[in-house]
Amino acid sequence: MSATEQSLARWHDMVERRDMGGLREIVHPEAVFRSPVAHTPYPTADAVVLALSTVLTVFEDFRYHRTFLSGDDAVLEFSATVGGRSLRGVDLIHFDEAGLITEFEVMVRPLSGLQALGAAMAERIGPQLSAYS
């Protein structure tokens, strides 16, 4: 199993347990998070860990459906509910040769689900996450 596959397996385990305690161990210090509601990426592992740890508290009925892996890149299709709004999306994750996450980008649809997600995240960590941009 490659380093990327090992980290991806750890990611799925953390999501399934809803415990991001080990997330920092698989995130590169200079990782970048790209939010579906912000035009500016959030650099640093701290921003990635904050965003991903918080979103699991926002999502209801979160479920991954499919995983596509090509080399050090993964695409994870998911669905969830936020504030009564259903959404679907994909996580685009790039890993380095050591299996550390260097980029994590999220895309979400439809607009009503994206708006509910943006509002919930802003309420919980908006000022904290903005400090990274």
Compute the distance between CA of residue 101 and CA of residue 31 in angstroms, rounded to an integer: 6
What is the topology classification, in CATH, of domain 3-130? Nuclear Transport Factor 2; Chain: A, (3.10.450)
**pLDDT value at position 18?**
93
Compute the distance between CA of residue 125 and CA of residue 50 in angstroms, rounded to an integer: 8
**pLDDT value at position 132?**
62
**pLDDT value at position 125?**
77
**pLDDT value at position 13?**
96
Spatial neighbors of 120 by CB under 8 A, at least 6 apart, are 58, 82, 83
DSSP string, 71-90: TTEEEEEEEEEETTEEEEEE
**pLDDT value at position 129?**
62
The domain limits of the chain are 3-130
Q: What crossing angle do the helices spanning 111-130 and 45-58 adopt, rounded to 10°? A: 140
Instruction: Enumerate helices (H) and strands (E) in the chain, giving the number of each.
Output: 3, 6
Query: Tens digits of per-residue pLDDT, 45-71?
Result: 999 999 999 999 999 999 999 999 999
Query: Tens digits of per-residue pLDDT, 20-51?
Result: 999 999 999 999 999 998 888 999 999 999 99
CA-based R_g, the chain, Å: 14
Query: Tens digits of per-residue pLDDT, 83-131?
Result: 999 999 999 999 999 999 999 999 999 999 999 999 998 888 766 666 6
Burial 19-34 (b: 16+ CB within 10 A, else e): ebeebeebbbeebbbb
